[in-house]
Structure 1
Amino acid sequence: MAEDWNFFTETEICALRASGILIRKGKILLDHVMTFDEYWLPGGHVAIGETTESALHRERQEEFEQDCQIEKLAFVSENFRHWQSYQTNFIEFAYLLKDDGEISDDFHALTPDDADVEKVWADLADLSALTVAPQQLSELLTKVSDGLQHFVSTDK
């Protein structure tokens, strides 16, 4: 497998990420990074030579042992933030997924390749109280039906 679009220096991280948005009954499926108590859209790094759609299919297979059906590209974000001791620049392609019902409403599990990340269904109404990345996630989700969104996110 090719290396990921994930580059480190002593003070910086640059990465390309693909993620999926799955919403059902007023809840969204998220990755909860327990060490930092942050919530991210499920997905992962894109390998060099891999499309973002292919990366999302691969990540879904690795993490859920099933594929996903992509409805459309919802947003592209450029996330500039301080994280731990790094200045980061994450570019993320987030896809709206069709809900095929394969993931149960009470699904809760650790990510197979990272025991510090759990998959959880979070109430959409509670997103503003959570530390989410990108930080405008709640606002972006209200605009999914408006077509493709692009935004730049920076630390406050």
Structure 2
Amino acid sequence: MDVVFQTAQGVFNFRVAGIWIENGHVLVHRDVNESNWSLPGGRVAIAEDSQSSLTREFREELGIDVQVDRMALVIENFFEHGGKNYHEIGFYYVVTADSNFASIQEKPFHGIEGERLIFKWMPLEKLDTVELYPECLRTYLQELQSNVQHLVVK
């Protein structure tokens, strides 16, 4: 069971995401029914630590094993989606993989789960031209810090 619940005030969500940067490109994904991109990852399950959750999500969605290098960012994200207010806590980790998967292609592709998610290696210099959420990632990914950053986005 995922760490997500709904109340009269809105939805709480605990999410993890991977920051995978190769040759000036970052891996992003989106639902086929949405226009906005985000970093790949997903919800943390009850009794699952966040790093294990992130490696599980990459395995489920792309069929690859990633190495979690370090935590880079914690985002408290408050937003509205589908008529509901969300309070999301996001742990963002820098990841790498020992795989040919990192061969950069700018054409979108699907993962092993089918056509529900679209993945793309996005050039870092083009992040300001796409709808990327949370929006603070556009700037943060250009200047990746060595220490953990904490951001509140409202």
TM-score of the aligned structures, taking structure 1 as reference length: 0.88
Identity %: 29
Whole-Å separation in 1 of the counterparts to 2:98 and 2:108:
17
**C-alpha spacing 1:150/1:31, structure 2 compared with 1 (3 Å):** same
- How far apart are 1:11 and its partner, in Å? 6.1
Check the 8 A contact 2:4/2:11 in 1, yes or no. Answer: yes
1:133 corresponding residue in structure 2:
133
SS at match of 2:29: strand
Check the 8 A contact 1:23/1:99 in 2, yes or no. Answer: no
**C-alpha spacing 1:11/1:152, structure 2 compared with 1 (3 Å):** same
1:142 corresponding residue in structure 2:
142
User: Unpaired runs of 5+ in structure 1?
Assistant: none
Q: How many residues align?
A: 152
Check the 8 A contact 1:75/1:150 in 2, yes or no. Answer: yes
2:23 corresponding residue in structure 1:
25
User: Unpaired runs of 5+ in structure 2?
Assistant: none
- How far apart are 1:101 and its partner, in Å? 4.2
Whole-Å separation in 2 of the counterparts to 1:109 and 1:52:
26
Whole-Å separation in 2 of the counterparts to 1:19 and 1:39:
12
Whole-Å separation in 1 of the counterparts to 2:128 and 2:53:
28
2:36 corresponding residue in structure 1:
38
More strand by share: 1
Whole-Å separation in 1 of the counterparts to 2:8 and 2:131:
25
Check the 8 A contact 1:24/1:99 in 2, yes or no. Answer: no
**C-alpha spacing 1:14/1:115, structure 2 compared with 1 (3 Å):** farther
Aligned CA RMSD, in angstroms, stands at 1.9
Deviations along 1:28-75, whole A, 9 cap, x unmatched? 100123322000100000001001000001111111112101111010
Counterpart AA for 2:61: E
Counterpart AA for 1:84: G
Whole-Å separation in 2 of the counterparts to 1:67 and 1:126:
27
Counterpart AA for 2:65: D
SS at match of 2:58: helix
Counterpart AA for 1:49: A
Please say if 1:115 is aligned against 2:103.
Answer: no
2:69 corresponding residue in structure 1:
71
SS at match of 1:105: coil
- Worse-superposed segment, 137-146 or 98-107: 98-107
